[in-house]
A and B are shown apart, each in its own frame.
Chain A
Amino acid sequence: GENVEQHPSTLSVQEGDSAVIKCTYSDSASNYFPWYKQELGKGPQLIIDIRSNVGEKKDQRIAVTLNKTAKHFSLHITETQPEDSAVYFCAASISGAGTALIFGKGTTLSVSS
């Protein structure tokens, strides 16, 4: 079945450094790739997304890149701040399943000041 692999599982950076999280997906028909941030005790919140017809998208300190040929996409956070500390999930759309998603297993990002 479809699968999304996410690396690393944990990431520790100093405030102001950049953080990069990488995902690969298996379903070549996937065409929508969101990233979610989850804080303790809360539901996931969308932080950025990208569609298969776009290679890169940026929103202030956050950017996502997509390589459809290699079936991988990455999240880049620049100038990290302590409030960026959370669990981040990548996801890919499941072809033929409406807007349902398959998720990676998550990356716990810790930003120390």
Chain B
Amino acid sequence: NAGVTQTPKFQVLKTGQSMTLQCAQDMNHEYMSWYRQDPGMGLRLIHYSVGAGITDQGEVPNGYNVSRSTTEDFPLRLLSAAPSQTSVYFCASTQGVGTDTQYFGPGTRLTVL
């Protein structure tokens, strides 16, 4: 198993550009989440999904969209990037409630100029 994979590892955008951060897991996990990590702020939940076709907002959802068309994939879209979205983004997956161990991907470091 590759676990949780994220692409790209690094990305630089200009203000106003759009892009999609990819996340995939091959463990057949039902639950997936996106977090952002900023210096001194820990990890903050952006969006999460409890299964294919089901998504919901987390603590800091503004400026981000998600969809979950398959169990394996959970992409995060930035429609119009802003400098405030400069951060490291982590995707995580969990088999389900009651088996709560979250497996994190290696992260995507995004810079918005």
How many A-B contacts if CB must be within 8 Å? 69
Interface string of B79-105 (1 = CB under 8 A from A): 000000000001000101100111011
Number of interface residues of B (CB under 8 A): 27
B26 at the interface (CB under 8 A from A): no
Indicate if the CB atoms of B42 and A105 lie closer than 8 Å. Answer: yes
Q: A43-B107, A98-B50, A98-B97 are in contact. Are A89 and B102 (CB under 8 A)?
A: no
Indicate if the CB atoms of A100 and B42 lie closer than 8 Å. Answer: no
Which residues of chain B in 42-57 are interfacial with respect to chain A, using CB atoms and an 8 Å cutoff? 42-45, 48-50, 56
Indicate if the CB atoms of B33 and A100 lie closer than 8 Å. Answer: yes
Interface residues of chain A, those whose CB is within 8 Å of chain B, are 1, 4, 6, 9, 32, 34, 36, 42-46, 49, 89, 91, 93-94, 97-106
Interface residues of chain B, those whose CB is within 8 Å of chain A, are 4, 31, 33, 35, 40-45, 48-50, 56, 58-59, 90, 94, 96-97, 100-102, 104-107
